[in-house]
């Protein structure tokens, strides 16, 4: 092994082209900024089993709050009180001088009737489509 | 004597180094809105669940003049920056930052109006905006 390393070293010295390439590589490595993959999440995921506990016409406001906690927002619209829960997921891919940050959001809207019983539920999971991407050009 | 491969390598390294003074960043929020996804929604018949199946959960819900309005958003922004002082690191012990940069962003919004009985009424989608471009000239 030592002999092979020595031979490679000697070969390198005898071959200035190879040495030049190595020097360029070292310069390049010392100057470029590297890469990074960063993920950020805000809020808790909405597990399927918990979502299935919400039943229209049965589940109360209190039970929803026990499962998901206090809502991020309470919206009053058209005689409904609506609990709004949200979650964000972001993935950043960064290589040298290009980067792309993809952000997705999940929203859970629970509609209550005036008696405080669930009238309707709307859930959308967009964070599952969020990917790590680096290429910022194009569509 | 440097061969063709060597020249291409040197050019590649020079290009990479010169580009390292540049920055291309893109931020994408949520999935693009596709107007075709609204096809099949029938006013007065399609329910809130039909809307959610096609479009997912809205980002916002507001009380409308008669009923409520679901709002969906898609965002795309591109930022480019060139650091003209970057190249000075080859000649000076310190490399001062001399940056020129510019960012462009677009937001694509879709409104879906729901009737008081929580059925679909109509939708308003803006014409697709011009996609943002990369450019560093801020003036």
Give the phi and the psi of residue A56 in degrees, each rounded to 5: -65, 135
The residue count for chain B? 139
* Distance of residue B139 Cα from the nearest chain A Cα, in angstroms: 23
A41 pLDDT band, cuts 50/70/90, is very high
Of A2-16, A65-79, A120-134, B76-90, the one with minimum mean pLDDT is A2-16
Q: Do B27 and A84 touch (CB under 8 A)?
A: no
Q: Do B118 and A102 touch (CB under 8 A)?
A: no
Q: Do A76 and B28 touch (CB under 8 A)?
A: no
What pLDDT was estimated at residue A27? 67
Cα–Cα distance for residue pair B53/B48, rounded to 1 Å: 9
A1 pLDDT band, cuts 50/70/90, is very low
| Residues of chain A contacting residue B61, judged by C-beta atoms under 8 Å apart | 75, 77, 82, 84, 109
Interface of A with B (CB under 8 A): 17, 20-21, 24, 27-28, 31-33, 75-80, 82, 84, 96-109, 111, 119-120, 122-126, 129, 136-137, 139
Tokens read off for A94: 């960064």
Give the phi and the psi of residue A2 in degrees, each rounded to 5: -60, -40
Residue partners of B32: CB distance under 8 A and separation at least 6: B74, B108
- Report the run of H or E that residue A22 belongs to, with start and end: helix A16-31
Give the phi and the psi of residue A24 in degrees, each rounded to 5: -60, -40
| Nearest Cα residue in chain B from A34 | B20
* Distance of residue A89 Cα from the nearest chain B Cα, in angstroms: 10
Give the residue, B19 or A134, on which the prediction is more confident: A134
What pLDDT was estimated at residue B85? 84
Q: Which candidate, A1, A18, A8, places its Cα nearest to that of B2?
A: A18
Percent of chain A at pLDDT > 90 equals: 59
Q: Do B49 and A120 touch (CB under 8 A)?
A: yes
Query: Is residue A112 within 8 Å of residue A65, measured between CB atoms?
Result: no
Residue A123 has pLDDT above 70, yes or no: yes
Q: Do A120 and B48 touch (CB under 8 A)?
A: yes
Please, what is the angle between helix A16-31 and helix A2-14, to 10°? 100
* Distance of residue B56 Cα from the nearest chain A Cα, in angstroms: 5
Of A21-25, A68-72, A98-102, A111-115, the one with minimum mean pLDDT is A21-25
Q: Is the dihedral of CA A112, A118, A122, A123 positive or negative?
A: positive
Percent of chain A at pLDDT > 70 equals: 83
Give the model confidence (pLDDT) of A58-98 as tens digits: 999 999 999 999 999 999 998 899 999 999 999 999 988 88
Residue A25 has pLDDT above 80, yes or no: no
CA B61 to chain centroid, in Å, comes to: 23
| Nearest Cα residue in chain B from A106 | B57
Q: Do A24 and B2 touch (CB under 8 A)?
A: no
Give the model confidence (pLDDT) of A44-59 as tens digits: 899 999 999 999 999 9
Average pLDDT of adjacent 10-residue blocks, chain B of 139 residues: 73 65 91 84 92 91 90 94 83 85 93 92 86 91
Provide the ipTM.
Answer: 0.80
β-pair partners for B90 = none
What pLDDT was estimated at residue A131? 93
Residue A11 has pLDDT above 70, yes or no: no
Q: Which of B19, B56, B67 is nearest residue A78 as measured by Cβ atoms?
A: B67
Cα–Cα distance for residue pair B91/B95, rounded to 1 Å: 9
Q: Do A123 and B52 touch (CB under 8 A)?
A: yes
Q: Do A122 and B57 touch (CB under 8 A)?
A: yes
Mean pLDDT value of segment A1-27: 63
DSSP, collapsed to helix, strand or coil, labels residue A54 as coil
What pLDDT was estimated at residue A17? 77
């Amino acid at each position: 092994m030592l002999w092979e390393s020595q031979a490679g070293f000697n070969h390198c010295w005898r071959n200035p082209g190879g040495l030049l390439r190595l020097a360029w590589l070292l310069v390049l490595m010392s100057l470029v900024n590297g890469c990074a993959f960063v993920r950020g999440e805000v809020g808790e995921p909405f597990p399927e089993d918990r979502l299935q506990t919400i039943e229209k016409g049965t589940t109360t406001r209190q039970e929803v709050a026990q499962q998901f906690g206090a809502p991020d927002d309470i919206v009053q619209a058209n005689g409904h009180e609506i609990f709004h829960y949200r979650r964000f997921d972001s993935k950043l891919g960064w290589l040298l001088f290009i980067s792309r940050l993809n952000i997705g959001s999940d929203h859970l809207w629970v509609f209550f009737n005036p008696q405080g019983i669930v009238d309707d539920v709307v859930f959308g999971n967009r964070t599952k489509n969020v990917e790590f991407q680096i290429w910022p050009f194009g569509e | 004597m440097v061969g063709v491969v060597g020249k291409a390598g040197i050019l590649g390294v020079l290009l990479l180094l010169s580009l390292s003074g540049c920055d291309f960043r893109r931020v994408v929020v949520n999935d693009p809105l596709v107007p075709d996804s609204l096809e099949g929604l029938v006013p007065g018949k399609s329910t809130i669940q039909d809307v959610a199946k096609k479009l997912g959960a809205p980002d916002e819900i507001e009380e409308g003049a008669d009923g409520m309005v679901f709002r969906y958003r898609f965002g795309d922004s591109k930022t480019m920056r060139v650091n003209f002082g970057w190249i000075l690191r080859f000649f000076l012990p310190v490399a001062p930052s001399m940056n020129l940069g510019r960012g462009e962003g677009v937001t694509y919004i879709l409104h879906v109006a729901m009737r008081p009985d929580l059925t679909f009424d109509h939708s308003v989608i803006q014409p697709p905006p011009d996609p943002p471009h990369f450019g560093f000239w801020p003036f």
